[in-house]
Amino acid sequence: MTEQIHGSTMNAVVFMGEGSWAVESIQRPTAGNGDVLLRVLQTGVCGTDEHLLHGGFIAKFPLVPGHEILAVVEAHGEGVSSPAIGTRVVLDNTIFCGECTACARGNDLFCENFTSLGCNAPGGFAEYLVAKASKVIEVTDLSDDVAVFTEPTACAVHGVDVLALKPASDVLILGAGPTGLILSQLLRMAGAARVTVAAPTASKLALAKRYGADHVVQLSRANPDQGMDELESIAPEGFDAVIEATGSTALLERAVSLTRTGGTILVYGLAGEEATSSIRPYEIFSRELTIKGSFAQAHCFDRAVIALRSGRIQTEGMITSRIPLDGFEAALDNLHNSEHIKTIVTLGRPE
């Protein structure tokens, strides 16, 4: 091991609350009983990270963020012998207590003591982190740039589970960020006969088309009504399912009118906690529409890895920026640049 690995400190991004953050030298964690010490290789940047920065979602400060984690096993805690030291792994960042009412009912995702590494516990925008050995999955057969998409793919798998799509459904996805692009492919695996992706950015729509979307439609953030006529012409009676994957309340409102009578709307994008939307209850009632939400993921990591291994979920072209840890400000800026899809914070390679 190098001198740096034996050192007691490490560099990490630390969120302090109220939008304040810094790259700091902090105590390096030690693996306890049942744990592995992970040396982070790269971590994906997600829009949720910005919500956390400003105290949204389930943020608990001070916080080392980063939940889309690819790492290498650096050391074993007591009672742990695998994965072997040096193994490349992805990390399921969710932890459930197994004892509360929600867990007792099998609703682990709503655990009263829900812990999510990178959201309310130390995450992957750091040189090292500690996790339970049971929460890591070997990905020695996947490239780094594919494996790093495991967590967002797991969240998308959960979203597809919640949607419970009927075979041969006609589906619309509003949004072509990493989530929309992964969902557009997963829905094919779940039985969609036709997938349409609508979003503002032409380059992202081109990627959606390359990934197999049947139709792509360009929308405008400034004028959400733009593109609605084209969408209505694709599905004159409405889509069986519409997924709002941007967090836009304006698009959520339009999702209702784009959904076939008896169809389903999935709220997938994370809007601000104070955001509101104007939806007419009578329309939901009279057309028997179903509105569902998809929050994070539980027990979906193994299927996410299988999906990525299958090659049916493509990720090539999604990484549009790579930055070192000390360039984290650029990662936050990229979240507001429509041409960027996924920014990766790189922290090193296996030795």
Each domain of the chain, given as residue ranges in start order, spans 3-149+315-346, 153-293
Cβ neighbours, 10 Å, residue 275: 11
CA–centroid distance for 136 within its chain: 17
Q: What percentage of residues in the chain have a pLDDT greater than 70?
A: 97
Closest CA to 127 of 260, 325, 286, 328: 325
Residue 340 one-letter amino acid: H
Q: What is the pLDDT of residues 44-72, one digit of tens each?
A: 999 999 999 999 999 999 999 999 999 99
Q: What is the pLDDT of residues 6-21, one digit of tens each?
A: 459 999 999 999 999 9
Q: What is the pLDDT of residues 242-292, one digit of tens each?
A: 999 999 999 999 999 999 999 999 999 988 778 888 999 999 999 999 999
Q: What is the pLDDT of residues 312-333, one digit of tens each?
A: 999 999 999 999 999 999 999 9
H or E segment at 321?
A: strand 319-324
Q: Is the pLDDT of residue 2 over 50?
A: no
φ, ψ (nearest 5 deg) of residue 194: -150, 135
H or E segment at 167?
A: none
CATH: 3.40.50.720, 3.40.47.10, 3.40.50.2000, 3.30.930.10. Which one for 153-293? 3.40.50.720
What is the reported pLDDT for 64?
Answer: 98
CATH superfamily for domain 3-149+315-346: Medium-chain alcohol dehydrogenases, catalytic domain (3.90.180.10)
As given in the structure block, the two tokens for residue 127 are 């040189």
What is the reported pLDDT for 90?
Answer: 98
Of the listed ranges 132-136, 310-314, 345-349, the least confidently predicted one is 345-349
Q: Is the pLDDT of residue 83 over 70?
A: yes
Contacts of residue 208, Cβ cutoff 8 Å, sequence gap at least 6 = 176, 180, 181, 184, 197, 199, 216
Residue 326 one-letter amino acid: D
Note whether 148 and 42 are within 8 A (CB): yes
What pTM was computed for the model? 0.95
CB-neighbour burial class of residue 170 (10 A; exposed 0-12, middle 13-18, buried 19+):
buried
Closest CA to 35 of 88, 80, 83, 98: 80
Mean pLDDT over the full length of the chain = 94
| DSSP character at residue 269 | S
Give one DSSP letter per residue of 282-328, joined into a string: HHHHHTT-EEEE--S-SS-HHHHHHHHHHT-S--TT-EEEEEEGGGH
